[in-house]
Amino acid sequence: MFCDLGDDISAYLGDRFFRSWVANGGAGSSPRQQGTFRWRTSGGWESAEPGDPALARQLAQYQRSRKASRLNGEILTAEEMERLRALGYAPPRAEAP
């Protein structure tokens, strides 16, 4: 499973995840950081060493194939609205009287 927040993306598998992120939300020239983490039995995440190369490869493949994120506030095309309407995520068209 992948979690994509733009400058912060992760690949999850079991109790571990591989995360790649840019500190400060990508402000300035912050370098990309990455690492493997796991859930502690006492709660919270900790660094998991050794890292997980399989998760790192899966995340790299996801990054290469993902589409650019849509910015909030962009106007949807008529086709996008129809697709959302068909899935029940947009209000139905107003019926003509």
In tens, the pLDDT along 10-20 reads: 999 888 899 98
pLDDT confidence band for 37 (50 / 70 / 90): very high
Is residue 47 included in any domain, yes or no?
yes
Is residue 14 included in any domain, yes or no?
yes
Q: Tell me what pLDDT residue 31 has.
A: 82
Q: Tell me what pLDDT residue 79 has.
A: 93
- Whether the pLDDT of residue 36 is over 50: the answer is yes
- The tally of domains found in the chain comes to 1
DSSP string, 40-87: -TTSSEEE-SS--HHHHHHHHHHHHHPPPPPPTTPPPPHHHHHHHHHT
In tens, the pLDDT along 52-88 reads: 888 888 999 988 888 776 666 778 889 988 998 898 8
Is residue 58 included in any domain, yes or no?
yes
Is residue 97 included in any domain, yes or no?
no
Q: Report the mean per-residue pLDDT for the chain.
A: 82
Is residue 17 included in any domain, yes or no?
yes
Is residue 93 included in any domain, yes or no?
no
Sole residue written with tokens 């591989």: 18
In tens, the pLDDT along 24-35 reads: 655 667 788 889
Is residue 15 included in any domain, yes or no?
yes
Is residue 50 included in any domain, yes or no?
yes
Range of the domain at 73: 2-86
**What tokens does 38 get?**
């796991």
The model's pTM is 0.59
